[in-house]
Amino acid sequence: MSETATIAATAEPKNYLTNRHTIQSWLFTVDHKRIAILYLISLTVFFLLGGAAAALFRLDLMTPQADLLQSETYNKLFTMHGIVMIFFFLVPSIPAVMGNFLVPVMIGAKDVAFPRLNLLSWYVFMAGGLIALGAIISGGVDTGWTFYTPYSSMYANSHVILAVAGAFIAGFSSIMTALNFIVTIQKMRAPGLTWFRLPLFIWAMYATSLVVILGTPVVAITLVMIFIERFFQFGLFDPALGGDPVLFQHLFWFYSHPAVYIMILPSMGVISEIVSCFSRRRLYGYTFVAFSSLAIAVIGFFVWGHHMFVSSQSAYAGLIFSFLTFFVAIPTAIKILNWIMTMYKGSISFDTPMLYAYGFLGLFTIGGLTGLFLSTMATDIHLHDTYFVVAHFHYVMVGGGVMGFLGALHFWWPKMTGRMYPEGWAKFAAIVIFIGFNLTFFPQFQLGYHGMPRRYHTYAEEFQILHVMSTAGASVLGAGYLIMAAYLGWSLFKGKRASANPWDARGLEWETTSPPPTENFLSTPTVTQEAYAYDKPSVTHVPPEEKRV
């Protein structure tokens, strides 16, 4: 701290971190970069909470019997893990932290279109999070994060209303952020920054925001319907009145399937930036990648029924949902091809962000391919609600989503904090996380095909060996995360000073100081070339004397 203070006291121009130091200057800030930091801190806490829950039940699953936890506690823990990780970590992760920090900088704007709304979104997020935590502290929720009726609406005796309220409120926060991004990207791009000069991260954020805008309100009203049913005793899904619990599943998955794209599209945007930068080559098939983000966002709304093949949904509806699901696979697969082809004849260096990109490519490929097992109707009948599904979505959401998030964190860490992290430790942690992840989740594919149902507290003894492997892997994974937390924390105070453009990357965010000043640029930049112009030298908008070495 004292060092930061002395730096600020010198002739250095003030940046967004150092221009004011009071608590109020953080809690009432409208600077998108500071809001991003607020989100980063809150999300880290939620990630630790969700991870702790997972660690506990993973430990309990070492043996087939119930030894560590009671059934009720076990059910509450996996519910908490799901709610916290989905609604309070994965959905906001890259948009709220990286998007908030980068969208205005990347398009050369001073801030997002509605800065006060942006701050409000953080408060709303925190309110939702605290209410959900309240539900957990006051006794917990045992419905699973999917809140299926009629269990959630009529049978569960836990704090469903509070949990539903928390998720509902958090939904508003993502809507506010998404709305802000669309308007910002639409209306506030710097002169010369045409649509096809935009970084692909911006395209990904735009597509993600569309999904949030169109999907989140539907889950919001669906959660309100659960609330109405529990609180006012109105039977909206009550079978005794002729209500249909499967209708809840339709409404729920109308959001929650596209929500998978909310979690993965931003990561795809990040990977595009990283692969391009560390291959020193413009992304292969820029236009295709840009439009495929939008295509995935739109097609993603037509496939929700593939979560319901055994729900008693009409076989014909299932047929159509299965058919359309295969179509989402095509743009996704071609994107992987694009990233690989970008490396072809590139000049590849293996800095930490690139290691995460490699991890993403491997894990997300497996996650995507195992999705085919679940969109094929005959195999889904067998695999539905087994550990195969658990493994599949962890490969997509952690292998894809979280790997992208960590890649982004390392790629833009120098920009956000003005410090470099220790490269050796970072590489080590990336490799540990990759290995630990595979050890944890690969055995679960096998468990699933052999019939191990998900959400089981106790299980048949023949499954034990694979569960033990999974738990062992989880401890490696956990160790990887802890190493990362340690060296990132260390780097905040002791890390080497970062230059404006430590990776020699292209893009407006690299043409301002690290960390950027409050309004991002000293004067509004003008863009004269396309994105990823790695064949040309970096265009400098920052006078040399302001650059740190």
Partner 1 sequence: MSEHHVMPIRVYLTIIAILMALTVATVWVAFLDFGYLNTVIAVGIAVIKALLVVMYFMHLKYAAPITRLFAGAGAVFFVILIAITLSDYRSRDWFPFPEPWEQAHEAPASH
Partner 2 sequence: MKSVFNILPEQASTVASHVDAIYLFLIAISVVFTLLAAGLVIVFGVKFRRRPDGPAPEKPHEDSRLEMAAGAFLLVLLLVLFGWGAKVYFQNTRPPADAMEILVTGKQWMWKLQHPNGRREINTLHIPVGKPVQLTMTSEDVIHSFFIPAFRVKQDVLPGRYTRLWFQATKTGRYRLFCTEYCGTEHSMMGGWVNVMTAADYERWLSGEVAGAAQETPVQAGERLFTQLGCQTCHNAGSGALGPNLAGVFGHTVKLADGSEVIADEEYLRESILNPHAKLVAGFAPVMPVFKGIINEDQLLQLIAYIKSLSGASN
Partner 3 sequence: MSSHAHAHVAHHFESAEQQRQSAQLGMWIFLVTEVMFFGGLFAAYVVYRSLYPEAWVVGSHLLSIGLGGFNTAVLLASSLTMALAVHAAQTDKRNATAMWIVLTMVLGFVFLGVKVVEYAGKFEHHLVPGAHFHVDPMAELAKLEAAGVHVGQHLRHAFETANPSHVQLFYSLYFAMTGMHAVHMIIGAGLMIWLLANTLKGRYSSAYYNPVEVTGLYWHFVDIVWIFLFPMLYLIGRH
Residue number with CB closer to partner 3 (232 or 316): 232
Residue number with CB closer to partner 2 (42 or 342): 342
Q: Return the range that interacts with partner 3 (CB under 8 A); candidates 178-186, 352-360, 397-405, 432-440.
A: 178-186
Out of 26, 234, 326, 428, point to the residue binding partner 3 (CB under 8 A). 234
Which H or E run contains 298?
Answer: helix 286-299
Out of 216, 276, 332, 444, point to the residue binding partner 3 (CB under 8 A). 216
What SS3 state is found at 285?
A: coil
Out of 118, 338, 352, 518, point to the residue binding partner 2 (CB under 8 A). 338
Structure tokens at 170: 């958090």
Contact partners, residue 404, CB within 8 Å, separation at least 6 = 94, 264, 266, 267, 268, 270, 271, 356, 360
Residue number with CB closer to partner 3 (198 or 219): 219
| Contacting partner 1 within 279-308 (CB under 8 A) | 301-302, 305
**144 Cα distance to chain centroid:** 20
The single residue listed with the structure tokens 């509070």 is: 162
499 touches partner 1 by CB under 8 A: no
- Pattern of binders to partner 2 over 272-311, x per CB under 8 A? -------xxxxxxxxxx--------------------xxx
203 touches partner 2 by CB under 8 A: no
Q: Is residue 200 within 8 Å of residue 285, measured between CB atoms?
A: no
For residue 157, count other CB atoms closer than 10 A to its CB.
Answer: 8
Structure tokens at 108: 């050369």
Strand partners, 386: 453
Q: CA 39, CA 126: separation in Å to the nearest integer?
A: 9
Residue type, 533: A
Strand partners, 497: 419
298 touches partner 3 by CB under 8 A: no
Q: Which of 282, 264, 267, 293 is nearest to 341 (CA)?
A: 282
| Contacting partner 1 within 196-235 (CB under 8 A) | 210, 214, 218
Min CB(107)–partner 2 separation in Å: 23
Min CB(489)–partner 3 separation in Å: 32
Identify the sign of the CA torsion 371, 476, 410, 347: negative
The C-alpha R_g of the chain, in whole angstroms, comes to 23
314 touches partner 1 by CB under 8 A: yes
Q: CA 152, CA 254: separation in Å to the nearest integer?
A: 18
Judged by beta carbon distances under 5 to 8 A according to partner kind, the member of partner 3, partner 1, partner 2, none in contact with residue 301 is partner 1
Binding site for partner 1 (CB under 8 A): 186, 210, 214, 218, 246-247, 250-251, 254, 301-302, 305, 313-317, 320
Residues near partner 3 (CB under 8 A) are: 109-115, 175, 179-180, 182-183, 186-188, 213-218, 220-222, 224-225, 228, 232-236, 240-244, 247, 250-251, 254, 519, 524
